[in-house]
């Protein structure tokens, strides 16, 4: 039996907890060490885990490892997806690319920039919306900054339509959707409308960086 508390990266074995044969008891400090190493492999040696982000990362870890007690304490429903919000450059995309690696035994999600989906719609039309209304788990990156779609002179709020489709799949088949966004709740509602916004409340757990979080790309 493989040991889910051990992960090998670049020939180095990392421990992220202890495994008793049935369940993993995770160790947050060990997870941080692993995430820092994996981040450097993915994003380059400049990558680092910032102490100011530990609280956000801990909440995300509780979600991904399905720590029910801590999820309840933080009002997180492990059956829903994650909407990770925060200012430009705070590290949302990196964390969503990174966190899935601590649970390699779980079904992975594919991270897709929202603007690329709209460009696809502009090129091939409504089949793009159908393609994302499927059983694949997705994380839609930078939700809300994509342009309005336009195909054969018809405008379409592409991501709004996809979120409605994803909601139906979530209700009927428990298919999860994650997203990152720079926008707040009011801005999302203005962009997608009240109907989509109400579905988003049911689709997502909102985990938010402080609005004053530094831009780590500077």
On whether residue 47 sits in a domain, the answer given is no
Query: What are 4-14's pLDDT values in tens digits?
Result: 899 998 889 99
The predicted pLDDT at position 89 comes to 87
The predicted pLDDT at position 213 comes to 83
On whether residue 171 sits in a domain, the answer given is yes
Q: What CATH number corresponds to the domain at position 197?
A: 3.40.50.300
**How many distinct structural domains can be found in the chain?**
1
From CA 199, how far away is CA 163, in angstroms rounded? 8
Q: Is 12 exposed, middle or buried (0-12, 13-18, 19+ CB in 10 A)?
A: exposed
On whether residue 6 sits in a domain, the answer given is no
The predicted pLDDT at position 105 comes to 86
On whether residue 188 sits in a domain, the answer given is yes
Identify the CA nearest to 91 among candidates 218, 216, 182, 184.
Answer: 216
On whether residue 93 sits in a domain, the answer given is yes
The predicted pLDDT at position 134 comes to 86
The predicted pLDDT at position 212 comes to 76
The predicted pLDDT at position 61 comes to 97
The predicted pLDDT at position 133 comes to 83
From CA 105, how far away is CA 102, in angstroms rounded? 9
The predicted pLDDT at position 14 comes to 95
On whether residue 183 sits in a domain, the answer given is yes
Query: What are 60-92's pLDDT values in tens digits?
Result: 999 999 999 999 999 999 999 999 999 998 999
- For the chain, which residues score pLDDT lower than 50? none
On whether residue 1 sits in a domain, the answer given is no
On whether residue 12 sits in a domain, the answer given is no
By residue range, what is the domain housing residue 189? 78-208
Partners of 83 in the β-ladder = 179, 206
Identify the CA nearest to 188 among candidates 147, 166, 160.
Answer: 160
Q: Is 27 exposed, middle or buried (0-12, 13-18, 19+ CB in 10 A)?
A: middle
From CA 138, how far away is CA 109, in angstroms rounded? 5
């Amino acid at each position: 039996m493989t040991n889910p508390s051990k992960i090998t990266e670049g020939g180095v074995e990392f421990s992220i907890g202890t495994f008793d044969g049935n369940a993993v008891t995770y160790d947050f400090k060990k997870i941080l060490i692993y995430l820092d190493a994996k981040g450097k492999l993915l994003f380059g040696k400049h990558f680092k885990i910032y102490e100011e982000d530990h609280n956000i990362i801990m909440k995300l870890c509780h979600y991904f490892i399905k720590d029910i007690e801590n999820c309840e304490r933080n009002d997180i429903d492990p059956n829903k997806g994650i909407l990770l919000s925060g200012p430009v450059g705070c590290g949302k995309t990196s964390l969503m690319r990174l966190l899935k690696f601590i649970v390699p035994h779980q079904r992975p999600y594919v991270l897709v920039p929202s603007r690329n989906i709209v460009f696809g719609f502009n090129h091939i039309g409504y089949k793009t919306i159908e393609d994302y209304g499927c059983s694949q788990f997705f994380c839609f990156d930078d939700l809300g900054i994509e342009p309005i779609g336009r195909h054969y002179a018809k405008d379409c709020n592409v991501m709004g339509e996809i979120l409605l489709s994803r909601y139906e799949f979530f209700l009927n088949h428990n298919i999860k959707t994650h997203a990152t966004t720079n926008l707040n709740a009011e801005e999302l509602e203005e962009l997608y409308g009240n109907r989509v916004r109400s579905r988003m409340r049911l689709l997502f757990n909102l985990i938010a960086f402080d609005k004053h979080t530094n831009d780590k790309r500077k």
